Structure 1
Amino acid sequence: MNKAPASVWKNPIHFLAFGLGSGASPWAPGTVGTLAAIPLYFLLATLPLGLYILVVGLAFWVGCWLCERTSEDLGVHDHSGIVWDEFVGYWLTMLALPVSLGWALAGFLLFRFFDIIKPWPIRWADRRVAGGFGIMIDDVLAAVYAGALLHFAYFVMSLNW
């Protein structure tokens, strides 16, 4: 467990990279960061789909810079408190799904599952891709797995057997 630096509360770049401070949690910062992304998801979900995709895409590219800059400042490649990648990963997981507490919870559980167990190619990317892009991409891949399962579940539930 990496202790959150004081700069999280003083430096706006670090504050954002630490998921609006949620990554400063001493326990399970990735999980706490993902939880912190849920209320913002409900706000984003009110946007038209195209704008939602644009915002999440911008959050990804800004996140690459935020995470790299914060990592460099802290001297730690992927400090456990850097959770902007969890924010973006969760929002990507929820792309074009029904907006409800049940779907939000399912997305949370599946995203965290894939982010923690890191099946191929997530683990490969986590170990081999450097910089801010490297910090972000493993969560994007976890989101692809989680989102695909959620979309499959939605499809199956929508069938009229």
Structure 2
Amino acid sequence: MSENYQESTEEPVLILPPGFLRNPAHLAAFGFGSGAVPRAPGTWGSLAAIPMWYPIAQLPEPVYWSVVLAAFLAGVWLCGYTSRSLKVHDHGGIVWDEFVGMWVVLGFFPETWYGVLLCFVAFRLFDVWKPWPISWVDERAPGGFGIMVDDVLAAVMALAVVWAAELWLMPGLL
């Protein structure tokens, strides 16, 4: 082995099989293609969730949360199925979990651009950083449920930060 050898800490780029995203389940799990971006697919998936959130946000609140719950439950299957098909647990391109996480955070705040921006930044921070208990769940929860639930926890932690910002730093801003 060469003395200049250095193990890469980057996640390896996985080439998708030809026609992979033609499967509707894989396409949905990959955030309708947003997760297929080679760099920062989770960020692109989180961004792609915003225009999809807006029409859902127009629904009455109980219907909105029913849609989010249905998206979570569907995501357990979608993400698990796609993960098994790729033979990679929680492949970076699987971003349906980011969609649902964003919808959880955005479901509690008015539709102002700065509220959406704050929710996006807070969610991405916790989704990337994965402090405890997110990291614990991410390492231990199996299959599609594990893929989905760590992002819901990131959303809950992001909500705490956004609520604190609203209450103490910027009252009335959101």
The answer to whether TM tops 0.5 is: yes
Which runs of 4 or more aligned residues in structure 1 lie more than 4 Å from their structure 2 counterparts after TM superposition? none
Q: Which structure 1 residue ranges, 5 or more long, are not aligned?
A: none
Counterpart check, 1:26 vs 2:22:
no
What is the SS of the residue equivalent to 1:124? helix
Once the two structures are superposed, residues 47-101 of structure 1 have per-residue CA deviations (whole angstroms, 9 ceiling, x without a partner) of 1111111100000000000000111111111111000000000100112211111
The residue identity in structure 1 corresponding to 2:67 is V
**Relative to 1, partners in 2 of residues 1:91 and 1:5: Cα closer, same or farther, differing over 3 Å?**
farther
The residue identity in structure 1 corresponding to 2:35 is G
Q: Which structure 2 residue ranges, 5 or more long, are not aligned?
A: 1-12
What is the SS of the residue equivalent to 2:31? coil
TM-score, length basis structure 1: 0.93
The residue identity in structure 2 corresponding to 1:144 is V
Residue 72 of structure 1 corresponds to 84
1:95 is aligned, of 101, 107, 129, to 107
**Relative to 1, partners in 2 of residues 1:4 and 1:30: Cα closer, same or farther, differing over 3 Å?**
farther
The residue identity in structure 2 corresponding to 1:9 is L
The residue identity in structure 1 corresponding to 2:37 is S
Q: Percent identity at matched positions?
A: 52
The residue identity in structure 2 corresponding to 1:11 is N
1:15 is aligned, of 23, 27, 43, to 27
CA contact (8 A) 1:60 1:88 kept: yes
Aligned length in residues? 159
CA RMSD of aligned residues (A): 1.5
**Relative to 1, partners in 2 of residues 1:8 and 1:46: Cα closer, same or farther, differing over 3 Å?**
farther
Shift, 1:34, TM fit: 0.4
Residue 152 of structure 1 corresponds to 164
Residue 55 of structure 1 corresponds to 67
Equivalent-residue separation in structure 1 for 2:106 and 2:31 (angstroms):
18
TM-score, length basis structure 2: 0.86
CA contact (8 A) 1:2 1:80 kept: no
What is the SS of the residue equivalent to 1:26? coil
Counterpart check, 1:109 vs 2:121:
yes
Shift, 1:17, TM fit: 0.3
